[in-house]
Amino acid sequence: MLLFLIILTPQADALANKPFIRKLRGVIPANYPLSLPWYEDGLNFSCTGCGKCCKVDGDVWLAPEEVPPITQHLGLNLSEFRSNYIKAEITPSDGNEEESWMCLKRDEGACVFLGKDNRCSIYDHRPVQCRTYPFWPSLLSEEAAWLEEAVLPDEVTIDEGSSERHWSPELGGCEGIAVTTTNEIKEGEASDSDDEQESTLFKEKRLKQK
């Protein structure tokens, strides 16, 4: 038992502050096929409350089980809810409307539930689609997709030649995703190591507000 402790202790100290999967990396053979996601160091995102994700020119779908909590919250029966807030529906072939997926209407270029204060008026009951943005599989599948989703706040000017962009209803994007620009990696200084390049890319940049 004593021997066991002596052997484990130095390593345990070194591993104490590492995320779980890194700890595993530290104790399993190096050639074991354990793959880490590209975002193993985490992702920098915080909602700025800009409301832009609710103004994207796209559809928000409610799963059948998401409908009753919303109708209850609004104090409406299903037919009132349908006529006020739903623009399309997909009903299963057996015709059971309780199993329908429903698509929310839009109102003046935004989700019908986005309030004048730029807040979701059904926030506690908002659809999973909204609740999980921007951590969608499509955006997490690869680093490029995540980086592409980042947009600058309107008041920040874009340097000439920059690949950064502002939000638009068609292209969408999220200004709460904090990334550095690839142009911060100076030309000719590109690192041989992918790892080094990645950490430069993800070094947080506080965007200079004008």
Ligand X SMILES: *[C@@H]1O[C@H](CO)[C@@H](O)[C@H](O)[C@H]1NC(C)=O
- Footprint of ligand X (CB under 6 A): 41-42, 44, 77, 79-80, 202, 204
**Min CB(206)–ligand X separation in Å:** 8
- How near is the Cβ of 205 to ligand X at its closest, in Å? 9
Least distance CB 71 / ligand X (angstroms): 10
Phi-psi region of 151 (alpha: psi -120 to 50; beta: other; left: phi over 0): beta
Among candidate residues 59, 129, 64, 56, the one with its CA nearest the CA of residue 90 = 64
Closest distance to ligand X from the beta carbon of 180 (Å): 8
Instruction: Give the residue with the Cβ less far from ligand X, 194 or 204.
Output: 204
CB of 150 to ligand X, least distance (A): 12
- Residue number, 80 or 154, with CB nearest to ligand X: 80
What are the strands of the beta sheet with 61-62, ordered from one edge?
61-62, 101-104, 86-90
Nearer to ligand X, 77 or 193 (CB): 77
Nearer Cβ to ligand X, position 31 or 77?
Answer: 77
Cis link prior to 134 (omega < 30° from 0)? yes
Residue 111 CA to residue 124 CA, distance in Å, equals 16
Q: Which of 65, 68, 119, 113 is nearest to 87 (CA)?
A: 113
> Alpha-carbon distance 199 to 41, whole Å?
9
Compute how many other C-beta atoms are within 10 angstroms of the C-beta atom of residue 56. Answer: 21
Between residues 15 and 201, which has the closer beta carbon with respect to ligand X?
201
Residue 87 backbone dihedrals phi, psi, to 5 degrees: -105, -20
For the bound state, the minimum distance from the C-beta of residue 98 to ligand X, rounded and expressed in Å, comes to 13
Q: How far is CA 73 from CA 67, 86, 126, 128, in A?
A: 10, 16, 11, 16
Of residues 116 and 208, the one with the C-beta less far from ligand X:
208
